[in-house]
Every structure is written in structure tokens, then in C-alpha cells.
Chain A
Amino acid sequence: MVTSSRTPLRTDRLRAVNEPQPVAVDLDESGLMTVGRPDGRTVGKVEAILESWRIDDEWWRRTIARNYMEVMLEGGKRMVLFQDLLTGQWFAQMP
């Protein structure tokens, strides 16, 4: 992290980091998951689900319910995906 220059922070200039990126998750005939980009390009086939967890939050404001899973793709690449349980959409995100 860069040392603070003591310039007052302006919250209107904040940029989000690590926002969820939409992905497409499909199941093939044998039930294996495939992760793809929204433009249709394939990211990879899921070989193993390493861990899964669920986050339910902010029920008092705008409910957030997500099913996270850390997966290993073909070739050994690891990725964290979650499904928004309210809309059914899939996203990728850094843990």
C-alpha cells in the first residue's frame, strides 16, 4: 500500500476493487461444470470443487445470498465462483 499523502479522501472518487465478474456456468451431459465468459468463450472445465461456503447478509436492507465455491479447473487453475441465490446468476471473484 502507498504511504498516505494526507490528502483528504473524497468518497465520490472511490473506485470499487474486486467486483464480481459475471460468468456462465453450464453442466455437460455427464454433469461436469464448465465455466465460460459472458461472450461465450470457455474459461475451463471444473475438475474439482475444493471448498464451498454460503454468505447471507444485509437482510435488513437488500438481501444478499451467495453460494461460493472454490474450484479447480482443468490444468490446475483455481477460481472462486459464486451463484447469486436471488437471481440465479453466476460470478467469479477473488476470495
Chain B
Amino acid sequence: MSLSSTSSLAACVWIPLFPLRCEEARHEGLAAYPTALLAPDTTRKLWQISPLARHAGVKPGMTVSQAIGLCPTLRLIEPDPVHYDDCFARVLAALNEVSPVVEPAELGLAYVGTDGLKGIFGEPQKIIDAIRLTVGQSDGRTVRLGYGLGKFVAWVAATRSKPDDAVIVPLGGEKAFLASQPISVLPLDSDTHRRLRQLGIRTLGALAALPEEAVTAQFGAMGRRLWRLAAGRIAEPVEGRIAPEPIVAALTFFTPVGERELLAHALDQLIARALKHPRRIGWRVHAVRLRADLEGSSSWLAAILLKDPTADAERIAAPLKTRLEQSSPTGAVERLVLEFTDFAPGTSELQLFARDAQAAARAGQQRALQSAAREIRMRVQRSPLYHIVEVQPWSRLPERRYALIDYEP
């Protein structure tokens, strides 16, 4: 349901410690103190640390008591993920003023497609200036900027830039630029990072100097990707997305609610309400956000990307309920808001189901299923609908385990 456009030239906009910067922006004078933001999932641990607190020996992941022991003047802040999300949405909207191709990566990190912007702004430095001016206007936080061919080069350039500065990698200079960079800029898990260091590989240049096949043999498909990134052979384009207007269902509680069962019940109601929205008919839900306004002006947020888009209430609810169980809101909930933020079309057969789904809701699912199956059979002159049935699920021979049988509702 979302349109996309791409750009091979990329500018990376990185605002490190974005949530903490949001807090500093709304609490005047906070930046002058050692500060730590509590983790959204468990308030007993620290999530982000200000440079002053880090200087005192405080580290992310520490417990509150450990941190206070090291730095008695430490100021602890309850997380407000909904506020950070809103702030980042404003940054993205501002970037959209410069380029229509903007791809958010994570809170505080976004890529701007710059193909064609030369005609408007001029040389890359002018484009970077325009981006900095725009983000600065909406935000005022320390921004690091990188510019180059593809997202990876732009990201590495941004990590190398000084605060409020930019590193521009000229076209054709990617390989030389990447060669001297440390391997920590690669998207590595800690195990691969350790193995590479044990092999004496410390820079992208050292990795790219190895034969591609040897790296692939050692590290598999991921190794091949890492090698290609290091050698500047991959230039992943920026993919801008025009997001659809979300479908929103909200519930304000008479009195703040803390019981998980009650929240889960409210969630079921919200999902049922959102699924009935006329704009949802004919589409499966791909991305869901559940946010909660908590007592004491903090908030809670869960964003889920469904692996298999679905219109089934239980399958939408399951990951959200798991999140409610595992990292429940840290306070009583005053308002619960559900948003369907991305959608996926069904197959052509599903679209037939979808076309008169509202009628289906009135007449009953079974009858709608029968008529949709009949219509499909008439159109394609055969029934392409099957049950998958278990035949010998225990069999060691894969072809014996399951079979298809005509579906006749």
C-alpha cells in the first residue's frame, strides 16, 4: 500500500543518543548534569547515558543502584518513547522538504536520497548544508552527516564526521575511503567481530584484500555481504516510502489501568475495531504500533512488523500481547492507542475475497468463502484452492509428509 522511490546517492543523517537529546531539548538545563535514560522495557537498567555520566564511569545496561554508586549526582529519566517517535517524525518531515526520498533506519538515523538534487542545490556540500539547515531548524541537536554512493558509504562517512560537521566521499573514491575504516563499522555480530580480529583483520581494506571466496567459505553468505561492503562493491540505494495514513483505534480508560489482563482485553477490542475500518478491507496488516500514555507523563510503545501480513485478529494480537507480557508498561495506562501503519495486498484470489468483504461480514464468513471459491473457479475454469493435509508428517522423506487436496468449502 506504500509507494516507493529509490536513490543511489545518499546522505546519512545521524543524531547520536536521539532519545536523550529529546529529553535535553524539553528539560532546560538538563544537559549540564550527568544524565541517564532508563530502559523502556525494564526501568531497573540504564539505556542511554550522557557524556558527563559516561565520564563518571556509568555505562548503558548498568542497574540503577550500580550507576548511583558510581555517580551520586546522576539524574535518572523515565523513558517516553512516544515523544521520541513524534520528534523523529518531525525530523523526517523536515528532511522531506529537502528530498522526497527519505528512509528512516532507527531513532535518530535516516538516509536522504540525493539523486537529482544537484540541479536544485548544487554540489554535495550545498546539499549537506541544506539538510543541516533543515534538521537544525526542526531540531537543534548535534547532527553528524555523511554523503556518498549508497547507504553504507554514507553511514560510515557520518560515523567519521565530527559533531555538526560532514564527511563527503567523492564518487569513485569509495574504495579508498573505506579501506582505512575499522571493521567495527560493518553490521557484525560480536562473534564474527571477534573472529575477524583473531584473524588479524582490523580494517575494511584488510578484509577486502582477502579473496572473496575465502571469506565466503569462512563466514557463509553473510561473509560475502561483508566482503562486498568492505570492498565498496555494494551500493544499496535509499528507498523512500510514502507511508499510508494509519488506521487508528484508541481507548481512554476511566481510571488508569495496570492489570495486564485488562490491557490485553482492551487490545483485543481495539484490534477488532481497527480491522472493521472500511480502508482496511481488502488489505492485510503488515505493521502495527501500540502506544500507551502512562500516568506521570511517560509513555510506552511497541512497534511490530508482522512477518506474514494478516487480517486475523489473533495473529495481530499475539506479538503485541507477548510484548505486553515481556516488557509491560512501567506505570498505569491512561490511554491505549493502536495503529495499523503498513499494509500488504492479498494475492489475486485474496483480493476477490476482499472485494466484497463487507458483505461477507454481514452474511457470515462461510457463505462468503463459498461464493468467493465459486467465483474463482468460474474465472480460472478450475479450483486453485487446496487444503494442505498431513499425510505422514513423521516421514524422513520430505515428499511423504504433506499433500494437497481440493478445497471445497
Contact = CB atoms under 8 A, between A and B. Distances in A.
Contacts of A95: 398
Contact of A14 (B224, B385, B401, B404): B404
B220 interface: yes
Contacts of B396: 55, 57
A13 B406 contact: yes
B389 A9 contact: yes
Interface in A7-55: 7, 9-10, 13-20, 47-48, 50, 55
Interface in B371-409: 385-389, 391, 396-399, 401-409
B399 A5 contact: no
Interface residues of A, number: 27
Interface size class of B (residues with CB under 8 A): 20 to 34
Contact of A17 (B213, B224, B385, B399): B399
A16 B225 CA distance: 37
A20 B399 contact: yes
Contacts of A50: 220
Nearest to B401: A18
Given A5-B407, A7-B408, A14-B391, A72 B399 contact: no
B32 interface: no
B18 to A, nearest CB: 33
A2 B388 contact: yes
Interface string B212-226: 010011001100110
Given A2-B387, A2-B388, A57-B396, A15 B217 contact: no
A19 B399 contact: yes
A18 B404 contact: no
A77 B34 CA distance: 49
A1 B402 CA distance: 11
Interface in A37-90: 47-48, 50, 55, 57, 64, 72, 76, 78
Contact of A55 (B216, B225, B386, B397): B397
B405 A14 contact: yes
Contacts of A48: 216-217, 220
B213 to A, nearest CB: 7
Given A7-B408, A13-B405, A15-B403, 8 more contacts: A2-B387, A5-B409, A9-B389, A15-B404, A16-B399, A48-B216, A48-B220, A94-B398
Interface of A: 1-2, 4-5, 7, 9-10, 13-20, 47-48, 50, 55, 57, 64, 72, 76, 78, 93-95
Interface of B: 213, 216-217, 220-221, 224-225, 385-389, 391, 396-399, 401-409
